């Protein structure tokens, strides 16, 4: 086993390798970490690059993959890529679920036979509350898309992002859970997480502070380099945040992985509080 593999097995660094597939999005959410929106610089990582690095990550000892953005499914090759990634390792793809037209649904049908989950954001059980943060018609589109994925046997997780999960109205949460259950998504596939005070959320004065000391180390590869966490490669005022940058080098994956392992090994003890965001 590689040194990185040993640290993964011991839980010192996360077992999932994350990719930022792109930065552009058809939505403009108020709390978006990456200031994603239509027309922003795409910063595509690249299909072949992601697949190559995923295969190397598997050899190093990573056991899971994650794909985020932007909206990954705005990229035409994403269904094929996720099929390939899911054939290598269990994979989760974060999506806003608003781009699953008939053609896209057909293209992702092979995911039903693979350990792949599509994680879809749904923040509130009422359309007006949800859409205030995520944009017009988002609620309706999610409510339409999730059953279509579930019907096809594709794994779906629902992610709810709130200003303060601990202060959430239990009645509202219950209504939201009733919704995802009704769509065929069980409670174990529903995650609730806080807004992180980075990117557009920081500009809007939202979310909890999260830095090096609060985040779990999960190697995250982007077109701009390798980061400490998927909450690292954020954008504010059009500028990429570099405070959680590990290296500009992303290949071979061993290099940023070993650097991350070294950073973790040297991290001061007693400051490992995790926000537990997935």
Partner 1 sequence: MSSSVTQLPHAENGNRATASVVGLLDAQQAPILARPYYADGRPPSPITASLAQVPEILELTLPFVGRVLGPTAVDVRTKELVIVRTSALMECRYCVQTHTAVALDSGVSAEELRALRGEGEIEAVFTDPGELALLAWVDAVALGRGAVSEDVTARAKEAMGDPELVELTLVASATLMLNRYCSALGLPTSASTLSRLADEGLA
> With respect to partner 1, which residue has the nearer C-beta, 249 or 274?
249
DSSP 52: H
Find the shortest distance in angstroms from Cβ 28 to partner 1. 24
Find the shortest distance in angstroms from Cβ 242 to partner 1. 5
Asked if 228 is part of the footprint of partner 1 (rule: CB under 8 A), the reply reads yes
φ/ψ of 34, rounded to 5, equals -110, 10
- Give the 3-state secondary structure of residue 123: coil
Q: State which of residues 242, 265, 273, 274 lies at the interface with partner 1 (CB under 8 A).
A: 242
Asked if 243 is part of the footprint of partner 1 (rule: CB under 8 A), the reply reads yes
> With respect to partner 1, which residue has the nearer C-beta, 128 or 271?
271
Asked if 246 is part of the footprint of partner 1 (rule: CB under 8 A), the reply reads yes
How many CA within 13 A on the CB side of residue 67?
34
Instruction: Give 125-185 as a DSSP string.
Output: SSHHHHHHHH-TTHHHHHHHHHHHHHHTT-EEEEEEEES-GGG--HHHHHHHHHHHHHTT-
- Region of 3-11, 168-176, 182-190, 241-249 interacting with partner 1 (CB under 8 A): 241-249
Q: State which of residues 113, 175, 248, 274 lies at the interface with partner 1 (CB under 8 A).
A: 248
| Residue 118 CB coordination number (10 Å) | 24
- Measured CA to CA, the distance from residue 209 to residue 267 in angstroms comes to 19
Find the shortest distance in angstroms from Cβ 67 to partner 1. 24
φ/ψ of 8, rounded to 5, equals -65, -45
Size of interface with partner 1, in residues (CB under 8 A)? 15
> With respect to partner 1, which residue has the nearer C-beta, 106 or 248?
248
Is residue 43 within 8 Å of 224, Cβ to Cβ? yes
Asked if 212 is part of the footprint of partner 1 (rule: CB under 8 A), the reply reads yes
Give the binding site for partner 1 (CB under 8 A): 212, 228, 239, 241-249, 255, 259, 263
């Amino acid at each position: 086993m590689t040194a990185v593999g040993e640290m993964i097995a011991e839980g010192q660094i996360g077992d999932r390798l994350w990719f930022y597939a792109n930065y552009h999005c058809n939505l403009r959410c108020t709390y978006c970490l990456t200031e994603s929106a239509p027309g922003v610089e795409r910063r595509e990582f690249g299909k072949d690059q992601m697949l190559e690095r995923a295969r190397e990550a598997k050899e190093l000892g990573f056991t899971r993959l994650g794909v985020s953005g932007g909206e990954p499914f705005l990229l035409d090759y994403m269904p094929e890529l996720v099929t390939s990634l899911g054939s290598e390792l269990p994979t989760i793809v974060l999506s806003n679920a608003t781009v699953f037209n008939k053609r896209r649904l057909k293209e992702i049908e092979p995911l039903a036979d693979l350990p792949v989950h599509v994680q879809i954001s749904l923040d509130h059980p009422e359309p007006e509350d949800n859409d205030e943060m995520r944009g017009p018609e988002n609620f309706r589109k999610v409510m339409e898309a999730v059953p279509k994925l579930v019907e096809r046997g594709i794994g779906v997780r629902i992610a709810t992002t709130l200003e303060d999960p601990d202060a959430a109205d239990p009645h509202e949460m219950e209504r939201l859970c009733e919704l995802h259950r009704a769509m065929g998504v069980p409670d174990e596939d529903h995650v609730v997480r806080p807004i992180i005070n980075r990117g557009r959320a920081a500009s809007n004065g939202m979310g909890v502070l999260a830095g090096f000391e609060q985040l779990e180390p999960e190697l995250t590869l982007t077109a701009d380099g390798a980061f400490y966490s998927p909450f690292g490669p954020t954008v504010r005022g059009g500028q990429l945040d570099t405070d959680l940058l590990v290296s500009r080098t992303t290949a071979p994956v061993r290099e940023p992985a070993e650097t991350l392992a070294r950073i973790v090994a040297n991290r001061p003890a007693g400051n490992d509080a995790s926000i537990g965001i997935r």
